[in-house]
Chain A
């Protein structure tokens, strides 16, 4: 396997500005298949903005984001990005509260090779049901499968949303603060879940504040500060790096 094939996302010279505020400043960043890549940094470092660029929520001023080293992502719409294999769990759990857990997952099973019209009239075939059942197993919500998502607990909603991202088999999974607001026990379970998701067909990027959680799951840590990379390496090294300490403790 060459290096180019291993990289799922390659970010080069990315600049994002909101008015006069530069959120991301000439960032270079790579996320490879088979890894869980954590992005940490203080508030305003540009973590969520980076995920917004990957999902089409914000637009880059300049720079490039390549998927698999060939597909330029910076100009694609949210829908095209999702269909090309980027899946995202948002910071605030966003599930369809009036639909049941199964219905949520069923809707999330959106196949890129189908037109919207075909998707509307698609029958619930065995493959589809199997995919949904498989995810229900993974996220552990089998017992709540017919409950409306609105009555789930906060943690369960987070898991459901992770499940909705996974059911489409995306190449890149983006998790924005997956354990925010979770109990210790739920955090523990989520860490297990994320570790189990590691696969050679998938690159996982996690944005998180909880350092212990990051240490449990991450193969590689990138520390962002003021929109640029401050540090890259494993979590243990990050914890002792003077620049990282300065950013976290120095202010």
Chain B
């Protein structure tokens, strides 16, 4: 039964979410470039919106695997950071072409020029290609070896996390050659616009919002095809699907690589907005937090992922400034609340609240009944 409720719930949310995203797409240049006198956002504000959109993209990438195929990755930070590092490499190459000053971390390592393998990142189109292909390739290799040996459920989740953790340890080393602890920073321009300026902020925010829209609409369309039903079948009973003659390895692998690429694109858009990338993006807890956003918003159908990412991150931005020591407690309690009381996240909340309201309007002593329900 819960399946039914969830389906109707997520479908109801799709329209408003898409509408809001379209509105955001229009509003960000209007507010950012102060088209209406007296009504506008700061660069910081526009940037914040863009960052949250990148997180929404990342959350959708996770939901594509978790909500649809039931495969939970606790290592999507790896692909997010991978995309981010590749994008940072392009931005550094661009900056070098303009200033002819080698990034600090390369100078520190005694290099007099970029290592040879950086050459594609001088070109924007090759960089975009790399951002799609390299994380996709990594996902393919890892997914192939894991799915082939039927690594499933919590096993898979933890191994993805171990992979991310190992990558973090590796990137913290200066010898790895990507800036170590300090990461990469000192970007100059993107698409000819100075990074840190309003125009770049508006451009990146619009790009991120558009990406969210494309993935949301495209992803939902994809999930409605037979491929989407195959993923659902994998979630419900993977063995059964195999006994029907489907080699689920390739189905999962396809969804997994797509998911990784979306996460990488999210990272690539995120890095120019924050102006730096360092290994903290590979911290296993960030990857778990992504799963929390999805769980809060409600799994499956991608709308919940967007809602969850937006709500939790807005709350996080606000609370980290207002009450930084309280935030971890709020997050922890939010996780426990969602897991124990609202297994389908906000989608459950809307269903339950309607049930409560229905009961309240009928019942004689509404307060008492509500209390009993809550306990």
| Residues of A in contact with B (beta carbons under 8 Å apart) | 55, 78-79, 82-83, 87-88, 90, 94-99, 103, 106-108, 110, 112, 116, 119-122, 148, 150-151, 164, 168
Contacts of A107 in B (CB 8 A): 226, 229-230, 233, 241, 244, 246
Closest to B237 in A: A94
In the bound complex, how far is the Cα of B239 from the Cα of A119, in angstroms? 18
Dominant SS at the B interface?
Answer: helix
Given A94-B239, A103-B229, also A79-B247 (CB < 8 A): yes
Given A96-B236, A96-B237, also A164-B1 (CB < 8 A): no
How many contacting A-B pairs (Cβ < 8 A)?
A: 79
* A-B CB proximity, top 8 nearest: A82-B245, A96-B236, A110-B245, A94-B240, A96-B233, A83-B245, A98-B3, A79-B247
Are the CB atoms of B245 and A106 closer together than 8 Å? no
Nearest-neighbour CB distance to chain B for A68, whole angstroms, equals 18
Nearest-neighbour CB distance to chain B for A122, whole angstroms, equals 7
Mask: chain B, 228-255; 1 = CB below 8 Å from A; 0 = not: 0110110111011111111100110000
Contacts of B4 in A (CB 8 A): 148, 150-151
- Most chain A Cβ neighbours within 10 Å, of B227, B240, B241, B242: B240
Nearest-neighbour CB distance to chain B for A19, whole angstroms, equals 20
In the bound complex, how far is the Cα of B304 from the Cα of A116, in angstroms? 30
Closest to A86 in B: B243
Contacts of B246 in A (CB 8 A): 79, 107, 110, 116, 119
Are the CB atoms of A168 and B244 closer together than 8 Å? yes
Contacts of B225 in A (CB 8 A): 120
Closest to B249 in A: A79
12 more contacts with CB within 8 A, not counting A99-B229, A116-B250, are: A78-B239, A79-B242, A79-B245, A79-B247, A94-B237, A98-B236, A99-B233, A106-B229, A107-B230, A110-B244, A122-B226, A151-B1
Contacts of A148 in B (CB 8 A): 3-4
| Among candidates A83, A98, A150, residue contacting B235 with C-beta atoms closer than 8 Å | A98
Contacts of B230 in A (CB 8 A): 107, 120
In the bound complex, how far is the Cα of B239 from the Cα of A55, in angstroms? 11
| Among candidates B244, B247, B251, residue contacting A108 with C-beta atoms closer than 8 Å | B244
Contacts of B242 in A (CB 8 A): 78-79, 82
Contacts of B229 in A (CB 8 A): 96, 99, 103, 106-107
19 A-B pairs whose Cβ atoms sit less than 8 Å apart in the complex: A78-B243, A83-B245, A87-B243, A90-B240, A90-B243, A94-B237, A94-B239, A96-B236, A96-B237, A96-B241, A98-B236, A99-B233, A107-B226, A107-B244, A110-B244, A116-B251, A120-B251, A150-B4, A168-B245
